[in-house]
């Protein structure tokens, strides 16, 4: 008897299988001489081409201030792609791909440069059949957004012709607080409509982050248990053994809370906590995520002192190598009060999650690197095995990076005559299970932007809601008469002892990755 894939009218399956295909277009990268273009964007587009998913009629135009020719730009990108592509570099494929790449030299504030860009894009449309579709990628500092967008509008590049589209991708940070985020959103939306604005968060492009919805809503064994009746708490961890790595001035103006919690980690929390959407349309998914943001319990100054720990790394040892304290890093104030570690207890005040704490932590110079979500279920009643023996809880771990995958810890009897219960792990790895490496986050996000699928991009109300939550914490740290202390922790540790106490007072402990 032959078997075939099961057909279903399940909207989840239909949504996944019927995603729009990427369309012919010209991708214009502002800030094309920057690190992001060389390390991420061009290697991502090359990998998409290597997988056969890139539209044949696609062009890339790099827009930057430095003097380069098309040939020199392509040569530089070839070396970068050879180094950073997950698939290496195939010479024949690269030559075909490189023929699509062009360089446009102009100052960001030079209106004539944008007029010449418009003419060149029209020429590429005629020569390469890109159909008037344009994707503008702002790989520049947020302070440059306004000027670039104003010039695009002045020459009409924000307006698509009949049957064509014009979209903009905005890199983080999306502001530094709620007022600046609102101002930035106004600047962008004055030129591009919200439906054509794609705020990129590369965490949402990671394969395991995308799989959270499938894990929850396509598996009957999990969704009935995904609530406060069965889940004790959730831990979300983003740990780095690295320090600020020469980014002292940026980090001094940001800190761990604004750099990581406001966007990446709250995005993961939303995916874990959201209700099932009615379908997989972009706004249906994002509507549910916004509901989670709105349900976050606001933190008063007293609650911040109680439920938030901020820390800063001191000198220590990472993998046998001595490393300096944060205050000794290049271009960091010796009296800096910037946090490199944050741990907080978050409550989602809705029916599903009432009483279930979400513990979120992020830190630099920690003992090990990785990002994961750990869902710890409630323990079994102390009637049989839990009466006299130490039986631990079931834990579902979603590994975002590295070694993407999912594991479930269950209890099993150890072989032998006595009843000895030990934890065992059911493990799933993307790389071994599917026989291929997971695509890089930017590959998926660029494909989605070319397809017009905004599901994995942050919407304006979601960004502003997250800033409103984070701003209360920042205010308690910097404006309250008696702010909570900045706790020191040794590099190579798992953070300050105060973060351990945050969970210990609830009878819980951080999971060791």
Q: What is the DSSP string of 233-251?
A: EEEEEEE-S---TT-HHHH
Q: Which two tokens stand for residue 288?
A: 């549910």
Sheet holding 421-429, edge to edge: 421-429, 405-413, 395-401, 370-377, 231-239, 357-363, 341-347, 308-314, 486-490
Distances (CA, A) of 404 to 29, 214, 393: 29, 15, 23
Q: From 500, 15, 48, 369, select the one nearest 213 (Cα to Cα).
A: 15
Sequence-distant (≥ 6) Cβ neighbours of residue 73 within 8 angstroms: 32, 62, 101, 102, 103
Query: CA–CA separation, 78 vs 92, rounded Å?
Result: 12
Sequence-distant (≥ 6) Cβ neighbours of residue 351 within 8 angstroms: none
Query: Residue 17 burial by CB count (10 A; 0-12/13-18/19+): exposed, middle or buried?
Result: exposed
Q: Residues 203, 204, 205, 207: what is their CA dihedral angle, to the nearest 10 degrees?
A: 90
Coil, helix or strand at residue 135 = strand
Cβ-based neighbour number of residue 186 at 10 Å: 11
What is residue 152's DSSP assignment? H
Question: Active site residue: 104, 233, 264, 347, which one?
Answer: 264
**414 counts as catalytic:** no
Q: From 367, 366, 365, 368, select the one nearest 332 (Cα to Cα).
A: 365
Q: Which two tokens stand for residue 408?
A: 């479930």
- Return the residue matching tokens 């010209």: 26
Active site residues: 264
């Amino acid at each position: 008897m032959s078997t075939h894939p099961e057909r279903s009218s399940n909207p989840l399956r239909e949504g996944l299988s019927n995603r729009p295909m990427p369309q012919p277009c010209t991708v214009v990268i502002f800030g094309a001489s920057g690190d992001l273009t060389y390390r991420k964007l061009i290697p991502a587009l090359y990998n998409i081409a290597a997988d056969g998913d890139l539209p044949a009629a696609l062009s890339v135009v790099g827009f930057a201030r430095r003097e380069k020719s098309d040939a020199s730009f392509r040569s530089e990108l070839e070396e970068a792609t050879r180094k950073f592509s997950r698939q290496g570099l195939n010479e024949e494929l690269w030559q075909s791909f490189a023929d699509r790449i062009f360089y446009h030299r102009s100052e960001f504030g030079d209106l004539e440069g944008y007029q010449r860009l418009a003419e060149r894009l029209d020429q590429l449309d005629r020569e390469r059949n890109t159909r008037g579709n344009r994707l503008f990628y702002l790989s520049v500092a947020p302070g440059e957004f306004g000027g670039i967008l104003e010039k695009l509008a002045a020459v009409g590049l924000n307006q698509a012709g009949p049957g064509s589209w014009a979209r903009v991708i905005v890199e983080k940070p999306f502001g530094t607080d709620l007022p600046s985020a609102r101002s930035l959103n106004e600047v962008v939306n004055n030129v591009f409509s919200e439906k054509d604005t794609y705020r990129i968060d590369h965490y949402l492009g990671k394969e395991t982050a995308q799989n959270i919805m499938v894990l929850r809503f396509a598996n009957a064994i999990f969704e009935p248990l995904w609530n406060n009746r069965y889940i004790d708490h959730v831990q979300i961890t983003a740990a780095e053994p690295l320090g600020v790595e020469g980014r002292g001035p940026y980090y001094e103006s940001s800190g761990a809370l604004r750099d990581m919690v406001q966007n990446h980690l709250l995005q993961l929390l939303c995916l874990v906590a959201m209700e099932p959407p009615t379908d997989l349309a972009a706004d249906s998914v994002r509507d549910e995520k916004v509901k989670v943001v709105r349900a976050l319990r606001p933190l008063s100054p007293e609650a911040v002192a109680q439920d938030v720990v901020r820390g800063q790394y001191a000198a220590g040892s990472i993998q046998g190598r001595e490393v300096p304290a944060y205050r000794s890093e290049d271009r960091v104030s010796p009296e800096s009060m910037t946090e490199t570690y944050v741990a907080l207890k978050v409550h989602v005040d809705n029916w599903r999650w009432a009483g279930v704490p979400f513990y979120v932590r992020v830190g630099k110079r920690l003992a090990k690197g990785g990002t994961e979500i750990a869902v710890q279920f409630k323990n079994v009643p102390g009637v049989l095995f839990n009466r006299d023996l130490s039986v631990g809880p079931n834990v579902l771990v979603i590994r975002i990076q590295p070694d993407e995958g999912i594991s479930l810890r269950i209890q099993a009897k150890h072989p032998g005559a006595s009843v000895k219960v030990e934890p065992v792990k059911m493990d799933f790895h993307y790389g071994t299970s599917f026989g291929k490496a997971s695509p890089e986050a930017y590959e998926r996000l660029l494909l989605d932007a070319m397809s017009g699928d905004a599901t994995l991009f942050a919407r304006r109300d979601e960004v502003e809601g997250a800033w409103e939550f984070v701003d209360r914490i920042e205010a308690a740290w910097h404006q309250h008469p008696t702010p909570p202390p900045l706790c020191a922790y040794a590099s190579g540790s798992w953070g300050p002892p105060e973060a351990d106490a945050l969970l210990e007072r609830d009878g819980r402990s951080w999971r060791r990755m």
